[in-house]
Amino acid sequence: MKLYCTTVVIPEFSDVAGKIAVLIKKRMNDAYKGQDFGGGLDTFTICLYVTYFEASSTLEEARLNHGIEIFQDFRTKELMKGLGIIVVVDPDLARNMTEEDFKSDVFNKIGYTFDNFDINTPSEFDVESFSFFVKSSLVS
């Protein structure tokens, strides 16, 4: 399984969100070591949103990044199945956060998403083990 973390942010937060996305990806990939979560998925992506959702297209994009998606790998042209979750941080609240508070907020929201998991995954995929893996890889 390939693990990713991406961002959709307003320019004011590109540096801090970028640092956190790199940290998340590094921690998950360092902890991964080829573990088997039962199969059925090729990728996992966390998409961090620090933006305003006035534009319906941005909100729709966010919704599309939360759940199971079948897509074509742009290099191999092979069909892939991926799980994505979104993490939304309100820019108005983020302005008053230190970088450490921002990181903690993002990590807590990821944990909350897995504690309240509501996405239908392939039956062979072990959501509990994967949830434990993601949450434990983000512990400092």
Per-residue pLDDT tens digits of the chain, which is 140 residues long: 999 999 989 999 999 999 999 999 999 999 998 899 998 999 999 999 998 876 556 667 777 778 999 988 888 999 999 999 999 999 999 999 999 999 999 999 999 999 999 899 999 999 999 999 999 999 85
- CA-CA distance, 12 to 62, in Å (whole number)? 19
Q: What pLDDT does residue 140 have? A: 56
User: What does the pLDDT read at residue 57?
Assistant: 67
- Please state the separation of Cα 109 from the chain's center in Å: 10
Start-end of H helices in the chain: 14-32, 56-64, 91-94, 99-115, 127-137
Query: What pLDDT is stored for residue 4 in this prediction?
Result: 93
pLDDT of residue 51: 86
Burial grade of 32 (CB within 10 A; 0-12, 13-18, 19 or more): middle
Q: What is the pLDDT of residue 22?
A: 97
Residue 132 pLDDT: 95
- At 55 the pLDDT is 58
- Residue 133 has a pLDDT of 95
